[in-house]
Structure 1
Amino acid sequence: MTESHPALVTGAAGFIGRRLVSALRGADQPVRALVRPEHEVDDLQTLGVEILRGDAADAQTMVEAAKGCGTIYHLAAARGPKKLSLHAYERLNTALLDAAASAALGAGAVLVAASTVSVLGGCPPGAPANSLPLRPNTRYGASRAACETRLAGHWGPRGLDWRIARIAERVAGPGARDWRGVVCAVRDSCYRWLPTGGAMHSCDVDDVVAGLRLCAGDRAQAGQTYVLTASEPEPMESLLQGIADMLGADFAPRRLPGGPARAYKRLGDAVFKAFRHELPYAFTARIYAWPSRYDGADTGRQLGFAPRFTVAEAVQRSVRWMQAEGLV
């Protein structure tokens, strides 16, 4: 199939989904957007997008939505670090994946399945991040790891052409509301202590969108996993200082040794592996004290994925967008 065939985007009303739909339409790609009935998508309709409303976990809905499509970008997912039980995350995300995979197989479409680097647990890898073993340390991450395993073990042998896109955590850029809490905390001088040694390996939303489109392209291979992060991580201290500089805020937290926070993160990993239970604040310890780094060199070589924005630039774009929207 060619670009004359529609691309189906699930989760099209989300932060990344909206930017992806806009980019596809900007390239004159016909697009179908599957959104839930309650979502407002007037902006997508003005782009000439075919809007379908329904539940992406419903197999028949997905079959109807996928008819004639050449690519399915599967972004719909149950998200959030602590909203659901592990069983609920796995049940919902597996149902969403199975519906998308079955529809893609029936339509003869390529399935680009969005996943997350959190399936690797935030550990600095010693090998390319698309080849490391799965080691999630959160309920959400474990559910996405289960989906990756199911694609390879269940749907691949049935002839499905699938590619996995592991997307950076805390994607930044215009529209990134998830960053508002951090930005407001810097503005209000809420950071009184800051562990040292932490680094964020995020990505700008427009770079993620470019990577997703490359995952559907001719250079991508069926059954392969690709990593969509910025080229290099950014130290948390400099990232927060950059936000403060943009806001004209005073940023002078007391620097604390990061060793205890990193030890707590390791303890949280061990507890989750043994009992599937998340320790309180383990996610916070990782974000602010752990030197997260994901090696995406293989993705760059195979796909030509070359992020335009550094992590710092992506966050600055988030702050400028929030200022323009009156959110900070």
Structure 2
Amino acid sequence: MSFLEKLKNKFTRDQTENEDTAIEKYKEGMTKTRSSFSSKINNLIARYRKVDEEFFEELEEVLIAADVGVMTVMDLIDELKMEVKKQNIKETAEVKDVISEKLVAIYYGDDDEQVETLNIHEGELTVILVVGVNGVGKTTSIGKLANQLKDEGKHVVLAAGDTFRAGAIEQLEEWGKRADVDVIKQTAGSDPAAVIFDGIKAARSRNADVLICDTAGRLQNKVNLMNELAKINRVIEREVPGAPHEVLLVLDATTGQNALSQAKTFQQATNVSGIVLTKLDGTAKGGIVLAIRHELNIPVKFVGLGEQVNDLQRFNAHAFVYGLFADMME
């Protein structure tokens, strides 16, 4: 049985057990990327009957256009060439199965069964620091994550550490109301580290399981950004040894390679442990997921596949590849 057939069987079985599966959300949410990617792959296979150097050159262009990233594409093409030679593949129709398998391998490496999870410390306060530039959907992602954790039975508190952007505190408060969780705040322009300090004290006094901390998203002055995040980290580490347990960087999938540049900047400023990739449903360049993982070695932990509160999905590379190739399996 081919890799694509295994994916189809697995997710078809899952869907019959629960109609509202995450797999269906990936399929629906990745329509733009899939329609572009699948049509180009199918067109390429139709034009090239034999696997040759010209075929691989055009495949490179298709993958780069999907924002898989130049470095990642080059490594993927090398892997594909070796696998084609190893399996003695001659027909291009057989290559798409190898492509799908290698895309999963690029993400997961040797452990292709894992699903990215949050580092939640049961029985004690877990602190999650959320960073990212303005406009990427950071506050919305915090609200959706808070709602998800609350639905899982966690007592969640939010800290409004983005004290500089106009309306940021009010926006977080609105999400707090939607998710029915407490929001700790100070006045606009307050010291973000002081807000986070108050958030930790409040979370502890209320026996919270998780504290999610919002932060400012200014990149105009990288030095200020680094200093601010360093100060926040010092406060968190002092008050909760071993924290923050997660530093989630929120990126906008529609910005493609610019998201990769932002990730590099924040990786220099703080110890990013995971990515929240928003607006994946709104772009034809969903391959950025693979570029981030391969080039920066940062796992994508959540993806945004819609506007609803429950459309923030835990990332699963198998489901991602299924969403990428679903049209080819029908």
TM value normalised by structure 2: 0.38
Return the structure number with greater helix share.
2
User: Which is greater in Rg?
Assistant: 2
Higher RCO structure (Cα 8 Å, ≥6 apart) = 2
